[in-house]
Amino acid sequence: MIKNKNVFYTGGKGAGKSIHIKNTLRDFNGTVGGFVIVEYRIGGISGFILRDRLTEKESLIGVRKDNGCIGITEAFETSGVIALENALNANVDLIIMDELGFLENEVVLFQQTVFACLDSEIPVVGALKLMSTPFLDAVRSRGDVVVIEVK
């Protein structure tokens, strides 16, 4: 396995993690799979959508409530896993994971698929929420992952 082939940006909200990923993609000539998380607002409702980089299919993965955000486990187990498996099966040149955070804390199948991508020969570029959870800490602690903090 290639050492440090996976790069994740971390930092506070608005630090520029996604901008660094977009800058990486600007001059990249290969095929890109994986997912991006997009914030949405419709009227007084807001939350997050996962968009598959290959198919552009979108799935609601989290809804904001008064006291935080509630993750939709089924969306990670289906759409999140499918987006990553699509990238692996298409043998893309780069997998994007923008971003990994706390909504997927209890979604074991999604986490396993993230690790399968990190174990593959395909490089991964992603963003990690700046917090400590067992899942995020396991990603950070891998020998083939470099974490760059942006401020």
Position 121 confidence tier, pLDDT thresholds 50, 70, 90? very high
- Residue 148 CA to residue 89 CA, distance in Å, equals 28
Tokens at 132, concatenated: 């400590």
CATH superfamily of this structure's domain 6-149: P-loop containing nucleotide triphosphate hydrolases (3.40.50.300)
- Residue range 58-76: average pLDDT? 90
Q: Is 68 helix (H, G, I), strand (E, B) or coil?
A: strand
Q: Does residue 4 surpass a pLDDT of 80?
A: no
Ranges of each domain in the chain: 6-149
Q: Does residue 68 surpass a pLDDT of 70?
A: yes
- Residue 63 CA to residue 48 CA, distance in Å, equals 6
- Residue 54 CA to residue 32 CA, distance in Å, equals 7
- Residue range 76-94: average pLDDT? 96
Average pLDDT, rounded, for the chain: 92
Q: Does residue 138 surpass a pLDDT of 90?
A: yes
In this prediction, residue 113 carries a pLDDT of: 98
Position 126 confidence tier, pLDDT thresholds 50, 70, 90? very high
Residue burial 43-56, b: 16+ Cβ < 10 Å; e: rest = eeeebbbbbbbbee
Q: Sign of the CA dihedral 24, 52, 147, 91?
A: negative
The more confident residue out of 144 and 16 is 144
In this prediction, residue 14 carries a pLDDT of: 82
Percent above pLDDT 70 for the chain: 97
- Residue 113 CA to residue 118 CA, distance in Å, equals 9
pTM assigned to the model: 0.92
Place of tokens 């993690």: 17
In this prediction, residue 128 carries a pLDDT of: 96
Position 2 confidence tier, pLDDT thresholds 50, 70, 90? very low
Q: Sign of the CA dihedral 41, 107, 80, 91?
A: positive
